[in-house]
Homo-oligomer: A and B are copies of this chain.
């Protein structure tokens, strides 16, 4: 097997999505699983020269003091979503990644996330100090493993929302104010993004947290001739919305109301149970309907923590629409998916597509990845199939 040359640096490396991504990557390397769920393995992306699984090496930041193997086993015993044998076969790899884990930062993550932080996570550093420390971790990871490039992916818990208009619009201004009031507002996700992009690394924000979404941080990406994309992986209920809403639009069936109730019980759910953190997520889930339909029906989105469900995210959506002659009709759907298992393959896909974009020298927001996100940066198109066509068109261009 060839030596890995590309690093995947996961922010929140011991959470459920990360654990599943790591077990999955390990199982793929071992040939223990097939490629179900992996978009990058579809026939239309063959011949693009996407990197093999063996090319990737994982490390990451984490604020909790847990063992990756234990976290992965919870998906076996509590949520019953992964086979025990898969996790056991990856045990050595999981233990190695424990050693490639560094303490993250909890700047402006809010009290619900803070409570999980271990003693080793610094409490007193300034934004500038935090960025420097995170960059040191990233550089050491890259150098000690001789990696050609590192892709940083944020899969940490969702932070409370921040009003982006409070931040300076340009990178030079933001850079100047890093230790002033503007910098003080920056949540951890943005500090990781700055740390990565400033080093010329690629950055992917898989969560609804602020990450690289401020224009000033996007500018940094272009200044450092690197790339980024986000935000908020589109895995379940919102994915369905982005598939079904175009139907109502194309058939001219006015949606009167769209109600979506989500229940699940993993760590992510525990954090989202804080109304402040939940607000960030709900805004991201709720935005796209208006964009697709061209008007704003009454909407309701709830996300509730129901412990017994573990990783099984269950969504009930009730769509009430007007048919011909004004007659009201109803579509309801019930989605029962494993949150981490829906997210993890997309993380791997994003890393592979981003790695290719790095080799091809693409800069700024990777808009062709819009179909992976609930709130894609710099893209207004919210219809999933149209977004997917953007990916196919990019692949077509890449192949020439």
Q: Is the CB of B250 within 8 A of A385?
A: yes
In the complex, whether A314 has a CB less than 8 A from a CB of chain B is yes
17 A–B contacts, CB within 8 A, in A order: A34-B326, A36-B323, A39-B252, A81-B327, A240-B331, A250-B384, A259-B263, A261-B302, A261-B316, A316-B332, A327-B341, A329-B342, A331-B333, A331-B337, A332-B333, A333-B334, A385-B386
Which stretch, A82-90, A176-184, A276-284, touches the partner chain B?
A82-90
In the complex, whether A38 has a CB less than 8 A from a CB of chain B is yes
Q: In the complex, which residues of chain B have a beta carbon less than 8 angstroms from the beta carbon of A41?
A: 252
Task: From B23, B250, B300, B371, give the contact of A250 (CB < 8 A).
Answer: B371
Given A252-B42, A304-B259, A24:B324 Cβ within 8 A: yes
Q: Is the CB of B318 within 8 A of A316?
A: yes
Docked pose: A156 CA to B176 CA in angstroms: 61
Q: Is the CB of A328 within 8 A of B308?
A: yes
Oligomer: number of copies: 4
Q: Is the CB of A332 within 8 A of B334?
A: yes
Given A334-B331, A334-B332, A326:B257 Cβ within 8 A: no
Q: In the complex, which residues of chain B have a beta carbon less than 8 angstroms from the beta carbon of A142?
A: none
Docked pose: A328 CA to B77 CA in angstroms: 12
Docked pose: A333 CA to B306 CA in angstroms: 17
Q: Is the CB of B327 within 8 A of A338?
A: yes
Interface footprint category on A: 35 or more
9 closest A-B pairs by CB: A37-B324, A256-B308, A385-B385, A333-B333, A324-B345, A330-B336, A329-B337, A257-B308, A316-B316
Name 15 extra pairs, CB < 8 A, besides A300-B304, A323-B345: A36-B325, A39-B250, A80-B328, A83-B326, A86-B325, A240-B247, A247-B384, A250-B371, A256-B307, A261-B302, A330-B334, A331-B335, A332-B334, A333-B333, A383-B385
Docked pose: A257 CA to B81 CA in angstroms: 19
Q: In the complex, which residues of chain B have a beta carbon less than 8 angstroms from the beta carbon of A37?
A: 251-253, 322-325
Q: In the complex, which residues of chain B have a beta carbon less than 8 angstroms from the beta carbon of A169?
A: none
**Nearest B residue to A348, CB-CB:** B324
Q: Is the CB of B298 within 8 A of A306?
A: yes
Docked pose: A187 CA to B246 CA in angstroms: 37
Task: From B20, B33, B247, B328, give the contact of A239 (CB < 8 A).
Answer: B247
**Nearest B residue to A317, CB-CB:** B333
